[in-house]
C-alpha cells in the first residue's frame, strides 16, 4: 500500500482514462500538488478502461459530443496512441440508409472530414470478409480509429509527473470524503487522510458510491455491455500491424465488429439492459477477471451471434476460430445518455467527471480542467453539466427506467424530437386534466408534461388550409402535427393560452440580491420595481452561458425565470452567488385579443391598458379571486402576459382565462408554437441552439447600443467583442424550394450543414462551420425558417446558399442578417 500526502491542491479519485486525462490537463494548466488516488493497480486498475473496445467513431448528432470526440481523437493522435483504421456504419434497411445520410449531414455540420456514403461493393472492397448482400450501403469515415487507452493514461500520468505536478497513490482505497460548511475538505483513505482544496470523482461505474460519501449525487448506473473475442482467424494471419481493416458498426442489429491482430471482436448493444448497483460490483480480489468484467451471460448474447454470422460468414462461421473471451463488461449509463461533469450542486469544490467513454475522455478532461481553472471551457459542456438534474432525475427508479429505455437506442435512429416513454408522468400542471380533455399531445420538459399541441384544435385545420404547411415526409411529420401551425395562426389572429409550467422560476431576495444580480447579468438589473429585464449571462471569456428574464418585484426581491431544461443549471449559477428560492405556476396569454380577454378575466382593479401596463413591466392582477403576478413580455411576438400563480390555485386561473377567452376564439396553444414557430418568425434566440459558449453577444445580434455602468462577469471580454467586427452573424434563412428530387416537400429539423450553393462548407474566421441552429415552420410568413451563424461575407440579406438534408441540397436565402424579426419587424404587435 502506498502512503499518501497529507495535503493536496486537488485529489483525483480514479486512474482510468478519465482520471489520468484530468491529471494531465490540470497539470498542463498550472495545477500542482495533484494527488491521483487509485484503488487498483496501474496501469490497468480494473475499471471500464481496462476492457473497453477503444474505438472512436467521430460523428455524433450532438454538437457537444462530436466536439468532445473530435478533440479526444486529436489528443490521442498527439500522444501517438491512435491507429487510424477508418470505420463504416453499415445499413441493412432503407430507413438506416436515410439515417446514414443524416450522419453525413452531421459530419458536415461538425467538421468530420472526408466522410462519405459507400455502396455495398465499396464496403466489400474495404472489408473483403463481409457478405455485402446483407447490406444496402455504408457510411465511411476515414478518421475513425482505435486507441490504446491504457497507454494513453500512462503517458498522461508521466507528463504530469514530468512537470512535478502529480503524486500517484495506487492501491489506496477511498473510505470517505469530508465536507465542512458545504465545501469539500478532505479525502479519507485506508492509507491516511488527505486535506484537499478540490476533489474530482473520476470513478466510472463506482462514481455514485464515491459521491454519496460526500452527500452528493451522480445519477448513473453501471450497466452490462457484452462482447466476445474470437480467433485465431486464419484470414487475419497475414494482417500487418494490429488493425488492418475498418471497424464495422452493424447499426440495425446494434452490434459492432472489429479485427485486431488475428482476433475478431464482436460487441452488442442489442441485449436486454442489464443494470447493477455500484455497491454490488465485486471487489478486485473477488473478481475472476476484473470488477468490471463480469461473467458472460450467453443466453443474452447468443441470439445476436446469428446476426454477426450473417454479416461475416467467413470469419464468424469459421469452425477453427474459437470464442477466446466473452465478458459482460460494465460501463456507465445515465438517464439522458450524456456524461455527468462539473461541480456538484451539493458540495463546493467537488467535481464529477463521470459517465465518460474512451472516445470522449481526453476532450472532456480538457474542458473540465479549463472550467476548473478559469471557468471558460472552449467547448460548451451544458448538455453534460451535472447541475442539469432535477431531484426526480436522481432517483434509482428514474435512472433504471431511462437507462433501460435508452440502452437499445445506442445505435438507434433517434428522432431529434423523440420523447421518452418510461417513468412518466412526473410533474403535472394544475391544469393537466384540462389539457387531457383538450386532447393534448404531451412532450416532456424537465419532468413536466407539456402540451405540444391540442388534438381538439384539429377543427382549426379547416380554417387555415394549406397555411398550416402540411408535411409529406414521414421523418419530419414524426413528433409533429399541422395543428401546431394552426394554433400559431389562431394566436396571431385572436389569442392563445399557453401552459408554461416547465419554466424554472426562482426568487432571489435580500439586501445583497441586487448587487449579486448586477454582477452576473449583462443588462442592467437595477431598474424600477415592476420592470422586467431580459438579459444574457456570460462567462469571463464573454461566451454565452444563459439567457433569462428577471422581474424586479421589490427593492430587494427579484424573480428569475428561465427555461426548464437548463433550469437547475441556471439556478446553480445564481446559487453560487447567493441563496435562492421560490415556486410559482405560470400561464401565458398572447394575441391581439389578449388585453380584452385578460380584462374580462380580471376583476378590473388593475389598469391593463397599454399606458397603464407597459411592455417589460409586471404587476399584480386579481383573477377570479386569485392574486396573480402578470408580466407583460413576449416570446411569441404578440401582445400579452405571463401570469404567475401559486401552484395550488393554478387550475382556477386557467379556468377563468378559458371562460373569458373561449367565446372570442382563443385557442389553447402548445409548446410547438411557443418554442418553435412563433419565436423563429420573430428571430428570438434560444439557449442551447443559438446561444452557447462558443458564440458571443455581438455575433448573436444581442449587443445593446450602450453598456451599463456596473461591472459584471464577462465585461472585459464583451467590451473587446464590441470593439471589432464579429466573425459570424446570426441570420434567419428561408427555404426557397423544399421540393426534393423525388418531388416530396422536405422540412429540415435543425443541426443540418449550411453550404455554399455548390456544396462547400462555410467556415468562419474562428474555424466554426455554419449549421442550422434552429429550424421550423413560419406559418405567418409562409416559409420554412432556418437560423444559422454565417461569416460577414455571406451574412447579407439576399445571399443564396444551400442546406443539406438527407443527402440532397435545397436552396435557401438569407432573409435577415441580425436580429430584426422577419414577422412584424417593428414589433408593433407586442407594443400595441
Partner 1 sequence: MNILVCVKRVPATGGRIVLTPDGTDIDTRYLGFTVSPHEECAVEEAVRIVEGRGGSTTVLTLGPAAAEDQLRDAMAIGIERAILLETDGRDWDPVATARAIVEAIRAQESANGPFDLILFGNESADSGGFQVGIRVAAALGRPVVTGIKSLAPGEGSVVARREAAGGGWETFELPLPAVVSVKEGINLPRYPSVPGRLRARKKEIERSTPAWQSGGLDKVVLRLPATETTQAEVLGRGAEAAPAVVDLLTRIGVLGR
Q: Residues with catalytic annotation?
A: 225, 256, 547
Is residue 283 at the binding interface for partner 1, with CB under 8 A as the rule?
A: yes
For partner 1, which stretch binds (CB under 8 A), given 288-296, 599-607, 687-695, 782-790?
Answer: 288-296
Distance CA 63, CA 61 (A): 6
Alpha-carbon distance values, 372 to 86, 91, 122 (Å): 34, 42, 46
Is residue 121 at the binding interface for partner 1, with CB under 8 A as the rule?
A: no
Distance CA 637, CA 591 (A): 9
For partner 1, which stretch binds (CB under 8 A), given 287-295, 402-410, 570-578, 673-681?
Answer: 287-295
Is residue 170 at the binding interface for partner 1, with CB under 8 A as the rule?
A: no
Using the minimum distance from each CB to partner 1, give the nearer residue, 238 or 320: 320
Is residue 277 at the binding interface for partner 1, with CB under 8 A as the rule?
A: no
Cell of 405: 429505455
Is residue 163 at the binding interface for partner 1, with CB under 8 A as the rule?
A: no
Q: Are 633 and 616 in contact (CB under 8 A)?
A: yes
CB of 43: closest distance to partner 1 in angstroms? 15
For partner 1, which stretch binds (CB under 8 A), given 286-294, 497-505, 674-682, 809-817?
Answer: 286-294
Q: Which of 237, 319, 466, 793 binds partner 1 (CB under 8 A)?
A: 319
Using the minimum distance from each CB to partner 1, give the nearer residue, 28 or 262: 262
Site string for partner 1, 236-275 (x = CB under 8 A): ----------------------------------------
For partner 1, which stretch binds (CB under 8 A), given 278-286, 472-480, 503-511, 809-817?
Answer: 278-286
For the beta sheet containing 544-554, the strands, ordered from the edge strand earlier in sequence to the opposite edge, are: 504-509, 557-562, 544-554, 532-538
Using the minimum distance from each CB to partner 1, give the nearer residue, 293 or 639: 293
Give, as ranges, the residues between 171 and 230 that touch partner 1 (CB under 8 A).
Answer: 230
Using the minimum distance from each CB to partner 1, give the nearer residue, 305 or 527: 305
Distance CA 388, CA 565 (A): 7
Is residue 477 at the binding interface for partner 1, with CB under 8 A as the rule?
A: no
Distance CA 699, CA 537 (A): 15
Distance CA 504, CA 580 (A): 12
Using the minimum distance from each CB to partner 1, give the nearer residue, 323 or 579: 323
For helices 567-575 and 513-520, angle between their N-to-C axes, nearest 10 degrees? 120
Is residue 302 at the binding interface for partner 1, with CB under 8 A as the rule?
A: yes
Q: Which of 182, 317, 455, 757 binds partner 1 (CB under 8 A)?
A: 317
Distance CA 341, CA 385 (A): 5
Give, as ranges, the residues between 222 and 241 that touch partner 1 (CB under 8 A).
Answer: 230
Name the strand (E) or helix (H) holding 492: helix 482-493
111 phi-psi bin (left φ>0, alpha ψ -120 to 50, beta other): left
Q: Which of 126, 134, 305, 461 binds partner 1 (CB under 8 A)?
A: 305
Using the minimum distance from each CB to partner 1, give the nearer residue, 265 or 642: 265
For partner 1, which stretch binds (CB under 8 A), given 108-116, 305-313, 637-645, 740-748?
Answer: 305-313
Is residue 3 at the binding interface for partner 1, with CB under 8 A as the rule?
A: no
Give, as ranges, the residues between 771 and 830 that touch partner 1 (CB under 8 A).
Answer: none
Q: Which of 29, 235, 275, 289 binds partner 1 (CB under 8 A)?
A: 289
Q: Tell me how many residues contact partner 1 (CB under 8 A).
A: 29
Using the minimum distance from each CB to partner 1, give the nearer residue, 316 or 621: 316
Q: Are 118 and 246 in contact (CB under 8 A)?
A: no
Is residue 320 at the binding interface for partner 1, with CB under 8 A as the rule?
A: yes
Is residue 421 at the binding interface for partner 1, with CB under 8 A as the rule?
A: no
Name the strand (E) or helix (H) holding 77: helix 63-79
For partner 1, which stretch binds (CB under 8 A), given 11-19, 137-145, 319-327, 686-694?
Answer: 319-327
**What is the DSSP code string of 602-660?**
B-S-S--STTTS-TTBEEEEEETTEEEEEEE--SSSSSEEEEEE-GGGHHHHHHHHHHH
- From 220, 233, 222, select the one nearest 266 (Cα to Cα): 233
Distance CA 754, CA 786 (A): 10
- From 538, 179, 520, 198, select the one nearest 342 (Cα to Cα): 198
At residue 37, the 3 state secondary structure works out as strand
Is residue 642 at the binding interface for partner 1, with CB under 8 A as the rule?
A: no
Q: Which of 32, 77, 212, 298 binds partner 1 (CB under 8 A)?
A: 298
Q: Which of 118, 146, 227, 321 binds partner 1 (CB under 8 A)?
A: 321
- From 410, 684, 654, select the one nearest 536 (Cα to Cα): 684
Using the minimum distance from each CB to partner 1, give the nearer residue, 171 or 192: 171
Is residue 316 at the binding interface for partner 1, with CB under 8 A as the rule?
A: yes
Is residue 288 at the binding interface for partner 1, with CB under 8 A as the rule?
A: yes
Distance CA 3, CA 170 (A): 9
- From 500, 133, 488, 130, select the one nearest 309 (Cα to Cα): 130
Using the minimum distance from each CB to partner 1, give the nearer residue, 302 or 607: 302
Site string for partner 1, 726-755 (x = CB under 8 A): ------------------------------
For partner 1, which stretch binds (CB under 8 A), given 14-22, 29-37, 290-298, 473-481?
Answer: 290-298
**Taken in order 349, 354, 356, 362, is the CA torsion positive or negative?**
positive
Q: What are the backbone angles phi and psi of residue 455, rounded to the nearest 5°?
A: -60, -35
Name the strand (E) or helix (H) holding 668: strand 667-668
Helices (H), 312-347: 313-316
Is residue 306 at the binding interface for partner 1, with CB under 8 A as the rule?
A: yes
Is residue 318 at the binding interface for partner 1, with CB under 8 A as the rule?
A: yes
CB of 172: closest distance to partner 1 in angstroms? 14
Distance CA 764, CA 766 (A): 5
Using the minimum distance from each CB to partner 1, give the nearer residue, 2 or 540: 2
User: Site residues (CB under 8 A) for partner 1?
Assistant: 230, 280-289, 294-296, 298, 302, 305-306, 308-309, 316-324
Amino acid at each position: 500500500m502506498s502512503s499518501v500526502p497529507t495535503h493536496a491542491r486537488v485529489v483525483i479519485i480514479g486512474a482510468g482514462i478519465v482520471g489520468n486525462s484530468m491529471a494531465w490537463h490540470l497539470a498542463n494548466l498550472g495545477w500542482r500538488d495533484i494527488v491521483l488516488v487509485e484503488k487498483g493497480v496501474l496501469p490497468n486498475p480494473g475499471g471500464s478502461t481496462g476492457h473497453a473496445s477503444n474505438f472512436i467513431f467521430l460523428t455524433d448528432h450532438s454538437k457537444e459530443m462530436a466536439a468532445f470526440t473530435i478533440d479526444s481523437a486529436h489528443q490521442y493522435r498527439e500522444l501517438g496512441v491512435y491507429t487510424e483504421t477508418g470505420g463504416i456504419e453499415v445499413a441493412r434497411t432503407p430507413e438506416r440508409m436515410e439515417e446514414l445520410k443524416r450522419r453525413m449531414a452531421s459530419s458536415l455540420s461538425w467538421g468530420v472530414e472526408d466522410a462519405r456514403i459507400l455502396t455495398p461493393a465499396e464496403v466489400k472492397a474495404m472489408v473483403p470478409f463481409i457478405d455485402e448482400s446483407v447490406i444496402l450501403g455504408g457510411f465511411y469515415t476515414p478518421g475513425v480509429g482505435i486507441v490504446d487507452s491504457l497507454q494513453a493514461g500512462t503517458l498522461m500520468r508521466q507528463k504530469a509527473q514530468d512537470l512535478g505536478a502529480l503524486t500517484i497513490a495506487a492501491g489506496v482505497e477511498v473510505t470517505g470524503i469530508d465536507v465542512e460548511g458545504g465545501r469539500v475538505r478532505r479525502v479519507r483513505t485506508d492509507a491516511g487522510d488527505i486535506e484537499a482544496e478540490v476533489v474530482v470523482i473520476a470513478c466510472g461505474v463506482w462514481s455514485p458510491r464515491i459521491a454519496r460519501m460526500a452527500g452528493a449525487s451522480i445519477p448513473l448506473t453501471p450497466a452490462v455491455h457484452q462482447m466476445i473475442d474470437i480467433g485465431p482467424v486464419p484470414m487475419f494471419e497475414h494482417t500487418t500491424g494490429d488493425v488492418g481493416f475498418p471497424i464495422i458498426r452493424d447499426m440495425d442489429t446494434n452490434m459492432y465488429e472489429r479485427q485486431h491482430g488475428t482476433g475478431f471482436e464482436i460487441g452488442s448493444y442489442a441485449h436486454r439492459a442489464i443494470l447493477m448497483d455500484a455497491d454490488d460490483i465485486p471487489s478486485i480480489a473477488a473478481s475472476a477477471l476484473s470488477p468490471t468484467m463480469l461473467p458472460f451471460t450467453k443466453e443474452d448474447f447468443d441470439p445476436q451471434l446469428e446476426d454477426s454470422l450473417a454479416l461475416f460468414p467467413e470469419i464468424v462461421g469459421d469452425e477453427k476460430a474459437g470464442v477466446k473471451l466473452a465478458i459482460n463488461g460494465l460501463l456507465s449509463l445515465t438517464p439522458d445518455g450524456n456524461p455527468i461533469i462539473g461541480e456538484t450542486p451539493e458540495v463546493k469544490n467537488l467535481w464529477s467527471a463521470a459517465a465518460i467513454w474512451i472516445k470522449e475522455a481526453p476532450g472532456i478532461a480538457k474542458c473540465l480542467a479549463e472550467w476548473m481553472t478559469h471557468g471558460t471551457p472552449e467547448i460548451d459542456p451544458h448538455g453534460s453539466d451535472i447541475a442539469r438534474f432535477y431531484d426526480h432525475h436522481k432517483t434509482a427508479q428514474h435512472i433504471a427506467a431511462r437507462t433501460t429505455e435508452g440502452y437499445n437506442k445506442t445505435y438507434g435512429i433517434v428522432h431529434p424530437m423523440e420523447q421518452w416513454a418510461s417513468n412518466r408522468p412526473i410533474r403535472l400542471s394544475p391544469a393537466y386534466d384540462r389539457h387531457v380533455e383538450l386532447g393534448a399531445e404531451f412532450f416532456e420538459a424537465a419532468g413536466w408534461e407539456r402540451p405540444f399541441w391540442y388534438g381538439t384544435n384539429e377543427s382549426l385545420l379547416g380554417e387555415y388550409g394549406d397555411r398550416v404547411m402540411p408535411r409529406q415526409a414521414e421523418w419530419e411529420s414524426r413528433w409533429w402535427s399541422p395543428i401546431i401551425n394552426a394554433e400559431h395562426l389562431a394566436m396571431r389572429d385572436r389569442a392563445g393560452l399557453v401552459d408554461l409550467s416547465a419554466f424554472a422560476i426562482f426568487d432571489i431576495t435580500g439586501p445583497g440580491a441586487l448587487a449579486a444580480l448586477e454582477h452576473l447579468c449583462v443588462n442592467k438589473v437595477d431598474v424600477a420595481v415592476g420592470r422586467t429585464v431580459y438579459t444574457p449571462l456570460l462567462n469571463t471569456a464573454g461566451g454565452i452561458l444563459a439567457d433569462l428574464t428577471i422581474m424586479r418585484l421589490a427593492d430587494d426581491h427579484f424573480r428569475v425565470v428561465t427555461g426548464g431544461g437548463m433550469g437547475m443549471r441556471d439556478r446553480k449559477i445564481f446559487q453560487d452567488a447567493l441563496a435562492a428560492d421560490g415556486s410559482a405556476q405560470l400561464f401565458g396569454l398572447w394575441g391581439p385579443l389578449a388585453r380584452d380577454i385578460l380584462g374580462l378575466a380580471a376583476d378590473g382593479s388593475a389598469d391593463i391598458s397599454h399606458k397603464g401596463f407597459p411592455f417589460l413591466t409586471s404587476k399584480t392582477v386579481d383573477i377570479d379571486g386569485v392574486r396573480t403576478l402578470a408580466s407583460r413580455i413576449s416570446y411569441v411576438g404578440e401582445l400579452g402576459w405571463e401570469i404567475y400563480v401559486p401552484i395550488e390555485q393554478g387550475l382556477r386561473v386557467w379556468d377563468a382565462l378559458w371562460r373569458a377567452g373561449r367565446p372570442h376564439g382563443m385557442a389553447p396553444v402548445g409548446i410547438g408554437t411557443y418554442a418553435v414557430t412563433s419565436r423563429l418568425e420573430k428571430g428570438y434566440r434560444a439557449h442551447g441552439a443559438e446561444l452557447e459558449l462558443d458564440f458571443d453577444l455581438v455575433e448573436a445580434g444581442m449587443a445593446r447600443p450602450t453598456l451599463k455602468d456596473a461591472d459584471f462577469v464577462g465585461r472585459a471580454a464583451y467590451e473587446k467583442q464590441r470593439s471589432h467586427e464579429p466573425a459570424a452573424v446570426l441570420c434567419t434563412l428561408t427555404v426557397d424550394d423544399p421540393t426534393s428530387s423525388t418531388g416530396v416537400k422536405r422540412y429540415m429539423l435543425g443541426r443540418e450543414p449550411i453550404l455554399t450553393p455548390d456544396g462547400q462548407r462555410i467556415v468562419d474566421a474562428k474555424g466554426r462551420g455554419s449549421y442550422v441552429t434552429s429550424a421550423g415552420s413560419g406559418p405567418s410568413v409562409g416559409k420554412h425558417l432556418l437560423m444559422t451563424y454565417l461569416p460577414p461575407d455571406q451574412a447579407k440579406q439576399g445571399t443564396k446558399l444551400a442546406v443539406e438534408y438527407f443527402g440532397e441540397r435545397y436552396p435557401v436565402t438569407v432573409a435577415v442578417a441580425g436580429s430584426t424579426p422577419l414577422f412584424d419587424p417593428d414589433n408593433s404587435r407586442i407594443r400595441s
